[in-house]
Amino acid sequence: MRLLNALAAGAVLSAFAVPADAQQSTPQAQNYRTSLIVAKGGYINYERDLGLRPAPFVGMDLRYRITPFFALAPSVTVSQPRTDGDYFGASLIYDDTTYFFQVSQPVTMLDVGLNAVLSIPEVGAFAPYVSGGGGVYAFYLDPQVNSARDKRFSRFSLSAGAGATVRLKGGTGLQFEVRDFIMLDTDRERFNPVGARFNNSRFAEDFRAPSVYDKGSASHNLVFSVGFTFTPNSGAGRDTEEDR
């Protein structure tokens, strides 16, 4: 677990480090070796069996071109979904009466990864691409209802998607993307803060979770995003004296 957290931290740092070519090389020398910064936001539709409600997210990619059609892109994504109370129940006994409750909590999801981006030849200002990669995701649970031991966990993730960038003027653009964010080795019960003695086992059939779940399976989460792209140094040599 500590290794995963260290990897996550390293990936975050590397995602925001200024790439060497952005500091040293000039667009004239290696025109394709430019970095594309993508600030993005959107919506993650978590797999229903995971017990998480759909939620918005924000994130950032740094697309570092290796060849004109291939790039590596460290990325970071943050989302704060809420667990779905339909999946997590509790019972409290008051004297000879038992009451039943739904329990939900906000959780923070952080995913850091490295994606390979394969660009398809542009059509006008329209630049489609496909991407795939892997990384580490971490969930931070509500510390007010989880014990210190259970308030955080992390696992590996995969990602596969496709999108397109629409070039605007001045090295900027818009990016639209759909991808399958695959969380490996998921465990829905980790989102359940209810202690064993408050579990409802006597009338469990009456409060069944809407779906069954296989612990340790991979969950597929659909991510829709819109991003604002910016290419550093793209305007070098073209700015007017006044702009400098």
Partner 1 sequence: MTDRALKSRALMVAVVSSAALFGACRVDRATIFEPIGRPSFDFSFSPPATAAERALPGGTITVSRPGPAGSTAAGTVRIRLTNLQPLTSGVYQVFIGTQAGDTLRDVIPARGTLRVIRPVATVVDTTKTLDTTVTANVSSTNAGGANVVLEFTLNEASLGSNPTLPGRNVVLVSMQASETTTPPAIVSPLFGFFTTPAAGATAVTTNLLFGNYEPVTSRRYVFQAVGRGRGGVRGNVLAIDDTLLARPPIGFFYAAFALRTDSAGNALAPEYLGELTAPFPNRDRSLRNADTDTIAGVVFDRPAAISAASLRFVTTSDTAFVLRMGNIDIVIVLISKFAAEGSLPPNRILKGTLPGIVTSPPVAARDSTRP
Which residues lie near partner 1 (CB under 8 A)?
80, 82, 85, 89-90, 93, 96-106, 142, 144-145, 193, 201-207, 242-243
Distance in angstroms (rounded) separating the CA atoms of residues 241 and 238: 9
Pick from 18, 8, 21: which is nearest to 66 by CA? 21
Angle at 159 between CA 157 and CA 163, to 5 degrees: 160
Determine the distance from the C-alpha atom of residue 136 to the mean position of all C-alpha atoms in its chain, rounded to a whole number.
9
Terminal alpha carbon distance of the chain: 48
Query: How many other CB atoms sit within 10 Å of the CB of residue 194?
Result: 16
Cβ at position 83, least distance to partner 1 in Å: 9
Toward partner 1, which CB reaches closer, 159 or 175? 175
Cβ at position 79, least distance to partner 1 in Å: 11
Cβ at position 103, least distance to partner 1 in Å: 5
CB distance 212 to 49 below 8 Å:
yes
Toward partner 1, which CB reaches closer, 69 or 100? 100
Distance in angstroms (rounded) separating the CA atoms of residues 38 and 24: 21
Toward partner 1, which CB reaches closer, 56 or 68? 56
Toward partner 1, which CB reaches closer, 10 or 210? 210
Toward partner 1, which CB reaches closer, 43 or 156? 43
Distance in angstroms (rounded) separating the CA atoms of residues 232 and 99: 59
Cβ at position 234, least distance to partner 1 in Å: 15
Cβ at position 58, least distance to partner 1 in Å: 8
Toward partner 1, which CB reaches closer, 25 or 108? 108
Cβ at position 239, least distance to partner 1 in Å: 8
Distance in angstroms (rounded) separating the CA atoms of residues 147 and 228: 39
